Structure 1
Amino acid sequence: MVFTQAILYWLPKVPFKPWNPDSPSPVLLFYQGKFIASAMRDEHITKEEMLVTLLENGVASFSEVHAVILRTEKRMDIIRKAEAKDRLKVKGA
């Protein structure tokens, strides 16, 4: 009974956030050699965190990267310059 009372006391204090399938949307953190400082600040991501992700994906430096995109749960996708060129060739064909 005490447990039920505790839940009934605590439940109204928890903010309700309905699930939104569109949220959070991907965020561009790095593009064509430039850091997007405002996005990095909003998402609390540092250059060092991005560099660690690059190294984990076998990329030695930002000079090899076309873009870095932040996905859900702080997972970052790396698009290498070579991949970006290949994608442009396919679109242009």
Structure 2
Amino acid sequence: MKILVTGANGYLGQGIVEELSQKSNVEVIATGRKVDRINVDVKKIPVDLFEVKDPYNYFGRPDVLLHLAWRDGFIHNSPAHIDDLPKHYSFLKK
């Protein structure tokens, strides 16, 4: 099974990627604007998700998407959550 984890460089993403990397039947693709904090041996693709025209094929046709990429994730009242919502919707729809 191929699992794409967006926001993989973040607090939650790092732990999820590490845990998934220990599964023998899972191929993990870690992505985000940066991937420098991913300390396990997985495929790392640094990219701005909102600039990818065909994410499904770009990331190798993953079976599962764990979408954790939210700017200002732990700033609960950040305007970025609402401002970026149409971009997230578009990404997920693709």
- TM-score tier by shorter-chain length is under 0.3
Q: What is the TM-score with the length of structure 1 in the denominator?
A: 0.24
More helix by share: 1
Q: What is the TM-score with the length of structure 2 in the denominator?
A: 0.23
The higher-RCO structure (CA 8 Å, 6+ apart) is 2
Structure of larger gyration radius: 1
